[in-house]
């Protein structure tokens, strides 16, 4: 969480920093700030709240502010200290009478900040914020005041820090330079002509460059307008080839949609198409040679993930077990990492992470390494930390996702896991090849079927009727069985994330063992009916809630007549082969959460307290 940017080179410094922050706002929006370096000192601007507040302040600054050629910026997700202006980054250090000022932005957590704070206080430093970051600013300022270059002072400072960080800093003493370093938190360098950039993620800079250099753990980057130098903490130069990303700048614009979440829901057919392309032939055969793995040697699979990715993992388990007949465990990464997991070199650990930088998921990968597992990362972010930790990577090709609530990346994660299940099934000879191919051909139709689901839900009045069921609601219960249970979990998560209504996803059959006590007119039941025997069973459970006064929204096949008899609102999905059912059933739940949140006047793209990338444990 927290986004950092840096720039050095030309006079568009403020523009680049603000645009970079705009594209990183998904990482946190408690406060934002800029610091610019010029020969006669630093200029800073900081504001509490979303970036627009900072933009308003910046807009009132004089021409001098806009003539600076280097600077750093930050958008904050508060960890240490409330979202106040004093706690907003950048934090400054040094300054008269001890020497020139430095300004620092930081993403991560400095674990030994309390000891460092005591030590600095004892040396006469005064603290202006409650943040862990301010110790970095003082240490750096002290080093520069003592005559070190900005880079030297950064290296000396880093040696004092424990924890995770990506930091970037500028100094009035060297206004042509931006320095940065990282340990565990993400950082990339963007390469330009006569200018260079830094950011937490590539999407910050797509409007300016597509050429990037990764900064690895323990490396320091020194940028000027015409050079980028990477080195290790002990001073060894690092040579690294740049890489080019294929995401376009347009992909992170609204393109006429009211919100990114709405845009990203509509992008799902294309995202699925891109994820399947080149991996699933017209005849349904799968090609995962890109993994470079022999999938036949695997005896069990552990899936680790957080949030929405965990729900994708549950659907992956159901496909892997059904098709490949291999035992699969799915674990929340923050539990797995501390859970002393059991496994060996025949265990495949599948780590799912949209961002590829979720701290707990990365730690779960490390835990799996401890027992010799092979690791496959399923991620949407090229070059992210997880791609460098894993033995193999299966990229979901959803394009950048800006809305904090995951939508298109969820569907593509599920599709990627389905591909994996075909690959493992084939390698193990678990099912007749023709049977797997037939399911593969069904999966090839997912873009078209998800498109149909979106169209069906566009019928006038459908969504407003469903939102009407939520009038006066104080909570919601999402029920499903089998594959529809993870869908229920995902539907409940979407609703609570963006509408702030308490929502539970539950296996419909288990509902009688607790959640049924919640049911009354103010606790709508959202039932994902699915098909076959489980549909019948779910319907009976829904009847039980109706008997207790529940108002029901049913996600049902378009020809499911019985659904209309028990539900106040039916959200239809196209009839599809079993494997596609979770994909099409998720779409109405995304729309439902979206419209309920909009009806409550909420910001669906930036829900309170959340961040899209969670880089703290
Ligand atoms: C945060 C986001 C969720 C996401 C989860 C895992 O909580 O708000 O949307 O599912 O992190 O993120 P990852 O990038 O690892 O998939």
- Quick one: tokens of 600? 């409550």
**Mode of pairing for the β-strands spanning 476-480 and 503-507:** parallel
Top CATH class of 458-604 equals: alpha beta
Burial class (CB in 10 A: 0-12, 13-18, 19+), 554: buried
**Mode of pairing for the β-strands spanning 196-199 and 525-528:** unpaired
User: In the β-sheet with 178-183, what is the strand arrangement from edge to edge?
Assistant: 91-95, 99-110, 163-171, 178-183, 219-223, 228-232, 237-238
C-beta of residue 564 within 8 angstroms of C-beta of residue 462: no
Confidence at residue 66, expressed as pLDDT on a 0 to 100 scale: 93
β-sheet bridge partners, residue 231: 220, 237
C-alpha radius of gyration, the chain, whole number: 25
Residues with CB under 6 A from ligand 1: 306-309, 353-355, 358, 361, 404, 406, 610, 612-614
3-state helix vs strand vs coil in the chain, percent to 5: 40, 25, 35
357 CA → ligand 1 middle, Å: 9
Residue nearest ligand 1's atom 4 by CA = 307
Q: For 470-517, give the secondary structure using H, E and C.
A: CCCCCCEEEEECCCHHHHHHHHHHHHHHHHCCCEEEEEHHHHHHCHHH
Dihedral sign computed on CA atoms, order 333, 339, 345, 346: negative
- Quick one: tokens of 392? 């193999």
First to last CA, the chain: 11
Atom of ligand 1 nearest to the CA of 307: 10
Domain ranges of the chain: 3-250, 255-444, 458-604
- Quick one: tokens of 484? 């529809």
Q: Angle 233-237-243 (CA atoms, 0-180°, nearest 5)?
A: 105
Question: For residues 202 and 204, what is the distance between their CA atoms, to the nearest angstrom?
Answer: 5
Question: For residues 296 and 427, what is the distance between their CA atoms, to the nearest angstrom?
Answer: 5
Q: Please indicate whether residue 612 is annotated as part of the active site.
A: yes
Domains 255-444 and 458-604 share a fold: yes
Other beta carbons less than 10 A from residue 96's beta carbon: 9
Name the CATH superfamily, with its identifier, for domain 255-444: Glucose-6-phosphate isomerase like protein; domain 1 (3.40.50.10490)
Residue 528 host element (H or E): strand 525-528
Q: What topology does CATH give the domain 3-250?
A: 3.60.20
Tens digit of each residue's pLDDT (9 = 90 or more) over 440-473: 999 999 999 999 999 999 999 999 999 999 999 9
Question: For residues 352 and 367, what is the distance between their CA atoms, to the nearest angstrom?
Answer: 15
Confidence at residue 171, expressed as pLDDT on a 0 to 100 scale: 95
Picking from 215, 129, 213, the residue whose alpha carbon sits closest to that of residue 168 is 215
493 CA → ligand 1 middle, Å: 11
Residue nearest ligand 1's atom 2 by CA = 612
Other beta carbons less than 10 A from residue 549's beta carbon: 11
Atom of ligand 1 nearest to the CA of 310: 10
- Enumerate residue ranges in the chain where pLDDT < 70: 95-100
- Name the pTM for this structure: 0.85
Atom of ligand 1 nearest to the CA of 306: 6
- Quick one: tokens of 198? 């830094």
């Amino acid at each position: 969480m927290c986004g950092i940017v840096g720039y050095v080179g030309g006079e568009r410094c403020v523009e680049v920093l603000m645009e970079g922050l705009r594209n990183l706002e998904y990482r946190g929006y408690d406060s934002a700030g800029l610091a610019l370096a010029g020969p006669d000192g630093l200029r800073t601007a900081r504001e509490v709240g979303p970036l627009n507040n900072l933009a308003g302040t910046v807009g009132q600054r004089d021409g001098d502010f806009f003539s600076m050629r280097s600077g750093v910026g930050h958008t904050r997700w508060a960890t240490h200290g409330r979202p106040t202006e004093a706690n907003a980054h950048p934090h400054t250090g040094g300054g008269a009478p001890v020497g020139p000022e430095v300004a620092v932005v930081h993403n991560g957590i400095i674990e030994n900040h309390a000891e460092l704070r005591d030590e600095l206080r004892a040396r006469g430093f005064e603290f202006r914020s409650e943040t862990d970051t301010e110790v970095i600013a003082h240490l750096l300022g002290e080093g520069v005041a003592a005559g070190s270059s900005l880079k030297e002072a950064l290296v000396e400072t880093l040696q004092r820090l424990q924890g995770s960080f990506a930091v970037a800093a500028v100094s009035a003493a060297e206004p042509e330079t931006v320095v940065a370093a990282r340990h565990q938190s993400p950082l990339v360098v963007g390469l330009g002509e006569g200018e260079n950039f830094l950011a937490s993620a590539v999407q910050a800079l797509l409007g300016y460059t597509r050429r990037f250099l990764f900064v690895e753990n323990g490396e320091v980057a020194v940028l000027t307008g015409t050079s980028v130098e990477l080195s290790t903490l002990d001073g060894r130069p690092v040579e690294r080839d740049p890489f080019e990303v294929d995401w376009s700048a347009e992909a992170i614009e609204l393109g006429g949609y009211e919100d990114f979440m709405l845009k990203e829901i509509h992008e799902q057919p294309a995202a699925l198409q891109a994820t399947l392309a080149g991996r699933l032939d017209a005849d349904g055969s799968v090609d995962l040679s890109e993994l470079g793995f022999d999938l036949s040697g695997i005896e069990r699979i552990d899936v680790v993930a957080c949030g929405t990715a965990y729900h994708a993992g549950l659907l992956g388990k159901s496909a892997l077990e059904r098709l490949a007949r291999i035992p699969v465990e799915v674990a929340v990464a923050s539990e797995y990492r501390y859970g002393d997991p059991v496994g060996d070199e025949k265990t495949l650990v599948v780590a799912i992470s949209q961002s590829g930088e979720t701290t707990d998921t990365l730690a779960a990968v490390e835990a799996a390494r401890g027992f010799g597992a092979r690791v496959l990362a399923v991620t949407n972010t090229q070059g992210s930390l997880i791609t460098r930790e894993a033995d193999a990577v299966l990229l979901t090709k959803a394009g950048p996702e800006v809305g904090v609530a995951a939508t298109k990346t969820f569907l593509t994660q599920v599709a990627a896991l389905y591909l994996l299940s075909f690959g493992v099934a084939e390698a193990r000879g678990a099912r007749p090849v023709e049977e797997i191919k037939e399911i593969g051909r069904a999966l090839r139709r997912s873009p078209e079927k998800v498109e149909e689901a979106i169209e069906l839900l566009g019928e006038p009045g459908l969504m407003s009727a469903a939102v009407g069921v939520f009038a006066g609601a104080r909570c919601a219960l999402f029920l499903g069985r089998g594959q529809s249970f993870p869908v229920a979990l995902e539907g409940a998560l979407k609703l609570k994330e963006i509408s702030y209504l308490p929502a539970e996803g539950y296996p419909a059959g288990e509902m009688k063992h607790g959640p049924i006590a919640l049911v009354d007119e103010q606790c709508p039941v959202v039932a994902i009916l699915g098909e076959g025997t489980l549909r019948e069973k779910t319907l009976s459970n829904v009847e039980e809630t109706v008997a207790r006064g529940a108002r029901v929204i049913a996600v049902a096949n378009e020809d499911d007549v019985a659904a209309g008899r028990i539900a106040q609102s039916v959200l239809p999905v196209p009839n599809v082969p079993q494997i596609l059912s979770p994909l099409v059933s998720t779409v109405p739940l995304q729309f439902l959460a979206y419209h309920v949140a909009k009806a409550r006047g909420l910001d669906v793209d930036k829900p309170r307290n959340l961040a899209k990338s969670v880089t703290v444990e």
